[in-house]
Amino acid sequence: MEDDPQQIAKRLERENRTLIQQREIDLERSLGKFRVGSVPYLNGAPLTRGIEDQVILATPSKLGEMLQRDELDAALVSITEVLFTDRYDVLEGVAVASLGEVKSVLLAHRRPIEEAKEIFCDTASLTSVQLLKVLLAEKGMSPELKPLSSYSNLPDYALLIGDPAIDFLRSSPSHEIWDLGEAWYSLTHLPFVYAVWALRRGIDNKPLRQKLREAKEFGLDTLDYLISSRTEYDLEFRKDYLGWHIHYHLGSDEKRGIARFAELLRKHCDRQVFDPKYVS
């Protein structure tokens, strides 16, 4: 007698659950001797699925400092860490990117942007500060950028990033919002890449590259589970944010976006900008 559809569905669910558990087991303690850092933000969760307990969490700027001191072998860092420092390779195929509105990198402003003389910036991400500088420069603006000391009692102009930016956006603020992901897309019609896996050169990291790719694949394969099980914000927001606003591919369009950003950095910044070196 053949199984009915309900029995077949239950068996497939059990088999899928078993496969997921096996993938989790395979990723446990899989990083071995390698030291890896990632961000404590919601958007980084799909890239460390299964290796969460083996990863050091810190802000992008802190991770960049740790890489510079060779305290990490790989880190999910702002793209500018790679563009401004010719000592890392970029893992192929993996990124934190958006094609348009991103929701977590934004300029909060009480008055028109064109009137800004100074903007206070969350310095946790160098990329966000440089992106703001480039976008404003393309509008013919060069306001003074200063460090933001606190998210409470925000000034008239403030650059906010990550989960604190989302918190602010969802608080019905009196400020208007300029989403930098949307602004970048309006300017270039390309994706913007916020973060990549930067790999320290000079070590044999082929096993590490494989595990980071496996973690990403596992995260995307179980994205519905991540969305439903995480506790940040509400379910509908997590669906919208992780399933639509953020994507995790580093393909030809994303590389063109990085190249365009590098071009504009060379135009508007006084630092040397290097071409990224991608490794699989």
Cα separation, 156 vs 222, whole angstroms: 41
CA-to-CA dists, residue 211 to 97, 177, 230, angstroms: 21, 38, 23
Cα-based angle 259, 262, 264 (whole degrees, multiple of 5): 110
3-state secondary structure of 178: strand
pLDDT at residue 41 tops 80: yes
Which sequence spans correspond to the domains of the chain?
A: 5-98+191-279, 105-186
pLDDT tens-digit map of 79-131: 999 999 999 999 999 999 999 999 999 999 999 999 999 999 998 888 999 99
Question: CA 113: distance to chain centroid?
Answer: 25
- The burial class, CB within 10 Å (0-12 / 13-18 / 19+), for 134 is buried
* Structure tokens, 58: 């810190």
For the chain, what is the radius of gyration of the CA atoms? 20
Looking at the domain that runs over 5-98+191-279, which CATH code has it been given?
3.40.190.10
Report residue 14's pLDDT band, with 50, 70 and 90 as the boundaries.
low
What superfamily in CATH does domain 105-186 come from? Periplasmic binding protein-like II (3.40.190.10)
CA neighbor of 233 nearest in space, from 36, 45, 63: 45
pLDDT at residue 31 tops 70: yes
